[in-house]
Structure 1
Amino acid sequence: MPYVKWTMGLVELTKEEEMPLGRNVLEVTNIRESANYTCVAISSLGMIEATAQVTVKALPKPPTSLTVTETTATSVTLTWDSGNPEPISYYMIQYRAKSLDNGFQEVEGVATTRYSIGGLSPYSEYEFRVMAVNNIGRGPPSDPVETRTGEQAPSSPPLHVQARMLSASTMLVQWEAPEEPNGQIRGYRVYYSSDMTAPLSAWQKHNTDDSSLTTISGLTPDITYSLRVLGFTSVGDGPPSDILQVKTQQGGEHSTTQ
């Protein structure tokens, strides 16, 4: 029967005087790093050995160099470096709108180190982070990156449009900003016409800055005008408000609005 001993790499684990005959069980505890364990059998006939590899696997490290490479009004493209020497299964992206107190939304199973996330709100601040996932589990997140999506034309009209006559030929028009400006409102356009059936392009136009009231003068007394107001960003015009009708009056009397 041979004597049997264990080594870890070049380190002898079995004391010379304690080598048992025929069978030797090695119990390894508190493993911190990968290592090769070799079982050696020695007899008068010679020596034979067999090696087992113990591999320590860990969660992946956080990805590095997370960067926003492109933004549109509704999408953001991210790139990053793996940050891991070992291969990983896939990446997971987490993102959230800064204005909302919601948790992160997640995109699972991203196979590349570049990804575009769509369906975002225009002109909004978002925070993004990426995690690597291997067969052990999900690693810690990367450093976050923040960006603002691009502008779009407004998607809703100005609110609470009101008008009243200051004189027989001058009208004061007031409104409030749209609920969905989708960017920075650069100004408003008041359309007005005595023929509400005409296409909007044929109505008279009065442009204003980003304030929420204006006066329109040079109106004809004693007729009914139709009014509509829209806001615009640097990208384009939003939808016009519903028609508001105002009647100018003879002489200098003031009229009230509908």
Structure 2
Amino acid sequence: MKKPVTVRLPFSTELEESYVVKQGAELNLTCVPVESPNVTVEWTRSNGRSLDDLVFPNDTNILQLRDIQKSENYSCLAESILYGHVNRTKIIIVQDFPIAPENLNVSKVTGSSLRLDWSYPTSYLEWIGAGVQHFTIRIYPRILGNPHFEISGITERHHTFQQLNHSLEYMFCVRAVNLIGNGSLSKCSNAKTKGP
């Protein structure tokens, strides 16, 4: 069995932070309270429900999350006589490998260039910074002995290729990449550059 990832919630930061995991992941959240004697720690979900049943038996600072199935906010409330109440939240985002882009379309074909467009559904994950990070295009020149190559880091849903060989057929496939990794390749699209 894999050891769970441990994520610390330091009290030196004021901002809510997110952490992306795959569905079914295991995670330990560690609350790091202000150095103070007699600190009590309580964990809650976004709905306010106490999570006492998920803490380590002898250490209430550590919340054990197993088989995570949905995105959720987890809050750690530390209380001490010296510092009062301090609350920190970690947003756990459940994400899987991205789906394949769709509807590849080639346009603006010349003897040395062409434009490739595709569609990709927008999800709520993109609005919180955990959606598709970029796209990668795999290009197969249809010439004997010429291997495929890739262009990575494309942030738009289109790309214009320059300096292609004239009168040559190419096959293009696109994949999305997110924080979890590479998604599946799309259905490929073929195009031939114009002759001289």
Q: TM-score, normalised by structure 1?
A: 0.45
| SS of equivalent residue, structure 2 residue 151 | strand
Provide Cα deviations, 1:119-142, integer angstroms capped at 9, x if missing partner: 323222211012223344333222
Q: Report the secondary structure of 1:33's partner residue.
A: coil
Structure 2 matches for 1:45-124, cutoff 5 A?
A: 50=87, 51-85=89-123, 86=126, 87-100=131-144, 102-124=146-168
* Cα 1:22/1:134, change in 2 over 3 Å: closer
Mapping of residues 76-225 of structure 1, within 5 Å: 76-85=114-123, 86=126, 87-100=131-144, 102-152=146-196
Q: Aligned pair 1:33/2:70, yes or no?
A: yes
Aligned equivalents of 1:39, 1:74: Cα separation in 2: 58
Count of residues in correspondence between the two structures: 146
Could you tell me which residue of structure 1 aligns to residue 27 of structure 2?
none
The whole-number CA distance in structure 2 between the counterparts of 1:106 and 1:138 is 13
Cα RMSD (Å): 3.5
Unaligned runs of 5+ in 2: 1-37, 80-84
8 Å CA contact retained: 1:38, 1:52:
yes
In structure 2, which of residues 52, 56, 61 is the aligned counterpart of residue 14 of structure 1?
Answer: 52
Cα deviation, 1:27-61, whole Å, max 9, x if unaligned, reads: 1122233212244689xxxxx78443222344433
Distance 1:41 1:77 in 2: 55
| Alpha-carbon distance in structure 2 between the residues aligned to 1:118 and 1:41 | 58
Pairwise CA distance, 1:3: 7.7
Question: What SS is found at the alignment partner of 2:66?
Answer: coil
Question: Alignment partner of 1:123: what SS?
Answer: coil
Query: What residue ranges of structure 1 are gaps of 5+ in the alignment?
Result: 43-47, 153-258
Q: Percent identity?
A: 29
Q: For 2:150 and 2:75, how far apart are their aligned partners in 1?
A: 45
Larger Rg: 1
When residues 118 and 38 of structure 1 are mapped into structure 2, their CA distance, relative to the original with a 3 A threshold, is: closer
